[in-house]
Amino acid sequence: MEILDDFGRIEKIDKSGMLRVVEAFPKQCSDAVSLAKHIRLKEDYGGVTRLAVLGMGGSGIGADLLKTVVESQSELPVTAVKGYDLPRHVRSDTLVFAVSYSGDTEETLSAFTQALDRGARIIAITSGGSLHKQALEHGLAFVEVPAGYQPRAALGFLFLPMLMVLDRLGLIDPQKDAILETLTILQALSERYSWKQPSEDNLAKRVAGELLGKVPVIYGSDGLTAPAALRWKCQLNENSKVPAFWSVFPELNHNEIVGWELLKDFTQDFSLVLLRDREEHSRVARRMDITRELVSAHVGKVHELWCEGNYRLAKILSILYLGDFVSVYLALLNKVDPTPVERISLLKKRLAES
């Protein structure tokens, strides 16, 4: 664990400075909010009855976040499109956010082309590539995200502008107070989880230490912490380079809970992480408690981690942010550079060749 308190040693492993980027996430979020205020919205968005968000991986997680936040406060259904084809219900009355940090992700470009063909209202969010070029060609509104980030590290820029646009269009409740609370909490967490806070006073470092050598399984709750659980899993995969899995209450009580029955010796190497909130559904809270009692002897450890804040946005981003720190600290404990994702690059290269 001492490595996490020694910036000289951290820098030797974290060559591209992922920890600094994670620490600066609150600033990125406030920059994203300012950026979104200046988006030039092009057309009349009246008559929009649904939303769709196209995006993969680090550019796609914003879709899950948006769905959870928007569907709790508006009647607009939100569809996350994480593949080549658009569902049939995406039509001209759909506001589509096409999100790709690189602007060159083939699934997103394929779905984007279909959205153009269907006459959907489209807003592109990208730092460049083909998406940027096509947005200009077709005269679409777009958000130009600063270059130089790993897509997953640009979450503030990729997600918050969608929320801001919906606010500006009057399609959801005003977000000002929720955003203010979120930024305040994220700033406080950035200091609490910073490498400067010694391990004994730092929850992120402590959780990373306890996950070392384990397979993390992250459980969130439907309509609340589920997208944060997915983000935790993805960040543990991409930053820490470990297998990780996720699932959602209450659905997991109808299947996955049975899977913790056999292979007890093997499952001691798994750690459960429960993402909790004091306002989760009372039956979900009870389910989490019972699940913990039933499976704790079958896994290495069960961690319970709690959201902060009152607004749903703050709650989800606070627990998500803890996961981002944990994933970087776990990478450092694993002595791997959190930034490169060689397998993703290799796969994209091989696909481009064929």
Single out the segment in contact with ligand F6R by CB under 6 A; choices: 54-62, 88-96, 187-195, 280-288: 54-62
The count of chain residues that interact with ligand F6R, using the rule CB under 6 A, is 15
Which of 21, 56, 90, 316 lies at the binding interface for ligand F6R (CB under 6 A)? 56
CA distances to 68, 277, 282 from 285, rounded to whole Å, are 18, 9, 5
Is residue 57 at the binding interface for ligand F6R, with CB under 6 A as the rule?
yes
Which of 67, 82, 152, 231 binds ligand F6R (CB under 6 A)? It is: 152
Nearer to ligand F6R, 121 or 152 (CB): 152
Query: Which secondary-structure segment (H or E) carries 1?
Result: none
CA 164/CA 285 separation, integer angstroms: 31
- Give the sign of the dihedral formed by CA 175, CA 180, CA 185, CA 190: positive
Question: Taking the alpha carbons of 318, 242, 215, 3 in that order, is the dihedral positive or negative?
Answer: negative
Residue whose Cβ sits closest to ligand F6R: 57
Q: Which of 42, 281, 303, 348 is catalytic?
A: 348
Buried b (16+ CB within 10 A) or exposed e, 217-228: bbbbbebbbbbb
By CB under 6 A, name the one of 26, 62, 151, 161 that touches ligand F6R: 151
Q: Which stretch binds ligand F6R (CB under 6 A): 98-106, 171-179, 182-190, 319-327?
A: 98-106
Of residues 114, 150, 237, 291, which one binds ligand F6R by CB under 6 A?
150
281: burial class by Cβ within 10 Å (0-12, 13-18, 19+)? middle
**d(C-alpha 161, C-alpha 127), whole Å:** 13
- The catalytic position among 254, 342, 349, 353 is 254
Tokens coding 191 = 């200091």
Chosen residue from 28, 59, 68, 271 binding ligand F6R by CB under 6 A: 59
- Locate tokens 């997600």: which residue? 159
Residue 139 burial (10 A CB sphere; 0-12, 13-18, 19+): exposed
* Among 268, 329, 229, residue whose Cα is nearest residue 4: 329
Q: Identify which range of 15-23, 33-41, 72-80, 146-154 contacts ligand F6R by CB under 6 A.
A: 146-154
Shortest Å, Cβ 340 to ligand F6R: 9
Binding residue (CB under 6 A) for ligand F6R from 94, 108, 134, 237:
108
254 as an active site residue: the answer is yes
x/- track of binding to ligand F6R for residues 4-33 (CB under 6 A): ------------------------------
The contact set with ligand F6R (CB under 6 A) reads: 56-59, 100-102, 105, 108, 150-152, 238, 341, 344
Known catalytic residues are 238, 254, 348
